[in-house]
Amino acid sequence: MLSEVLLVSAPGKVILHGEHAVVHGKVALAVALNLRTFLRLQPHSNGKVGLNLPNIGIKRAWVVAKLQMLDTSFLKQGDVTALTPEQVEKLKEVAGFPEDCADHEHLAVLSFLYLYLSICQSQRALPSLDVTVWSELPTGAGLGSSAAYSVCLAAALLTACEEIPNPLKDGEAASRWTEESLELINKWAFQGERVIHGNPSGVDNAVSTWGGGLRYQKGKISSLKSVETSAAGVKPVAGRSRPPALKILLINTKVPRSTKALVAGVRSRLLKFPEIVAPLLTSIDAISLECERVLGEMAAAPAPEHYLVLEQLSRGQGGHRTSTSGRPSRNRDLSPSGAHRHEPAPSECPRCGPCLAGPAVPDLEQPEVEAMKQALTSCGFDCWETSIGAPGVSIHTAASLDAPVRQALDGL
């Protein structure tokens, strides 16, 4: 068991295109978002294991000796397999939760306990440690906050228990794990996600682990321009092209939505109007493929016309989304150029949960960007200026983190 403090971060994600069509076998593109979740793991010898999640107001602690005495034989050492519903109920007993608890706050604690008890079984005794996780990502917004949480937990616990080597060398500010280590991190993170979501696709944790961008089609995940692999174990190809680090405006519309209801709505319309909806799904697929092609070109040599194409594709996706899902959201143009004009129009940017992501035009001056953000804020939206194509899970020195992040992790 390592004795040093570990500082880990992992990115969120946005789905650029194909979100509603992916369940019908079409391509969806997901990219890492440079809003990150940060974790601090502090080993100690006080006989307790603690979890602090300041974003959602959770602070829990368990006596290690009591955890050691509980029957956790259902968690087999090194067994990276999904928990059965019966095993989840047993885990709730270990946590001291009621059987009917299913809110995300309780499930986040269960995910931590599952990963801690499973990964740390390799030690002679369960270790005493404190884990604090703080995130720049809003929860419940479709931006992969739970996946980033699970990836950070898996990476930190595996490293602390020396199941994978610490990649951070003397003199380095930050580092990333080897492909072999990332595969193991991703497998455990996927199981942590299953505790929270039940049956996730594996896209969110894969994007958070490897960063960059991924395509998803018919249950298969692959790096952009790479060979397909299984959802829970993506193996990026050496020398693969990464999407460019594009600046975006991320907008939280605060309009709630149910993914389950939207998917059901698309399926209903497809059955009722197959001659109309099927071509729309094919068109959405074409938008995803064209976006993938453009991002590939931009990775090699970005040009101004690429940004125009991306914005045009975003507008096209918005129209198709309204036609297939029957849900226009707010009838306002939330693309950067539309927000800058302050003109209402029935179009949307790529959507994740209640959030929209619009590509920022590269030649805009910062005052213009600030004017856009102010216009969006005045409409009641939250707005972040960030980028996509971010690096995946990483380990850091304290000095490499911004002061607000260090303060959040230190509980100040």
Helix (H, G, I), strand (E, B) or coil at 201: coil
Active-site residue (options: 146, 150, 226, 335): 146
> For position 349, what pLDDT does the model report?
46
Residue 130 phi/psi, 5-degree rounding, is -120, 135
146 in active site: yes
The 10 Å CB-count burial string (b at 16+, else e) for 203-241 is bbbbbbbbbbbbbbbeeebbbbbbebbebbebbbeeebb
Structure tokens at 379: 């409409």
> For position 244, what pLDDT does the model report?
60
With both helix axes pointing from N to C terminus, report the angle between 104-119 and 85-95 in degrees, rounded to the nearest 10: 90
Tell me the one-letter amino acid at 220.
Answer: K
CA–CA dist 262, 125 (Å, integer): 47
Burial category of 169 from C-beta neighbours within 10 Å (exposed 0-12, middle 13-18, buried 19 and up):
exposed
CA–CA dist 140, 174 (Å, integer): 29
CA–CA dist 384, 352 (Å, integer): 14
The 10 Å CB-count burial string (b at 16+, else e) for 368-391 is ebeebbebbeeeebbbbebbbbbb
268 in active site: no
CA–CA dist 321, 287 (Å, integer): 12
Active-site residue (options: 135, 145, 150, 204): 204
> For position 314, what pLDDT does the model report?
77
Per-residue pLDDT tens listing for the chain (412 residues): 889 999 999 999 988 888 778 778 888 898 999 999 999 999 999 999 999 999 999 999 999 998 888 777 777 655 676 677 778 888 888 777 876 666 777 889 999 999 999 999 888 889 999 999 999 998 878 889 999 999 999 999 999 999 999 999 999 999 999 999 999 999 999 999 988 888 788 889 999 999 988 888 888 888 875 333 334 433 443 334 455 667 787 888 777 655 556 667 888 888 899 898 888 888 888 998 998 888 888 878 888 888 888 888 877 555 555 445 554 444 344 444 454 443 333 234 454 556 666 655 566 678 888 888 888 888 888 888 888 889 999 999 999 999 999 999 987 5
Structure tokens at 61: 């602690």
Structure tokens at 130: 């404190």
Dihedral angle, C-alpha 270, 18, 351, 216, nearest 10 °: 130
Whether the Cβ atoms of residue 314 and residue 359 lie closer than 8 Å to each other: yes
Q: Which of 200, 216, 390 is nearest to 288 (CA)?
A: 216
Total-model pTM = 0.82
Domains recognised in the chain with CATH numbers:
6-223+392-410 (3.30.230.10), 244-328+345-388 (3.30.70.890)
